[in-house]
Structure 1
Amino acid sequence: MRIGICPGSFDPVTNGHIDIFERGSKLVDKLIIAVFENPSKKPLFTMEEREMMLRETTRHISNIEVVSFNGLLNQYAVEHGATIIIRGLRALSDFEYEFQRALLMKKVEPDIETVFIMTNTQYSYISSTGIRELACFGGKLDNLVPDYVEAKLKNKFKDKYKA
Structure 2
Amino acid sequence: MYPGSFDPITLGHLDIMERASRIFDRLIVGIGINLEKKHLFTPEERMEQIRLSTQHLPNIEIRTFSGLAVRFVEECGANVMIRGVRPITDIPAELTMMMANRRLSSNVETLFMIADGELAHVSSSLIKQIAGLAGREEFRKFLPEVVIPSVEARFRKLEQDGGSAETLS
TM-score normalised to structure 2 length:
0.85
Is 140-149 or 129-138 further displaced after alignment?
129-138
Compare the two structures and name the one with the higher helix fraction.
2
Structure 1 ranges of 4+ moved more than 2 A: 37-41, 133-139, 157-160
Q: Which runs of 5+ in 1 are unaligned?
A: none
Match of 2:62 among 61, 66, 69: 66
Q: Give the structure 1 partner of residue 140 of structure 2.
A: 142
Match of 1:157 among 149, 155, 158: 155
1:90 deviation in Å? 1.1
CA contact (8 A) 1:135 1:153 kept: no
Tell me the secondary structure at the aligned position of residue 27 of structure 2.
strand
Tell me the secondary structure at the aligned position of residue 48 of structure 1.
helix
* Residue-pair matches, total: 156
1:123 deviation in Å? 0.5
The Cα RMSD (Å) is 1.6
1:40 deviation in Å? 5.1
1:30 matched to 2:26? The reply is: yes
AA in 2 matched with 1:127: S
Q: Give the structure 1 partner of residue 92 of structure 2.
A: 96
Rounded to whole Å, the distance in 1 between the matches of 2:74 and 2:122 is 31
Cα 1:73/1:142, change in 2 over 3 Å = closer
TM-score normalised to structure 1 length:
0.88
AA in 1 matched with 2:50: L
Quote the sequence identity (%): 35
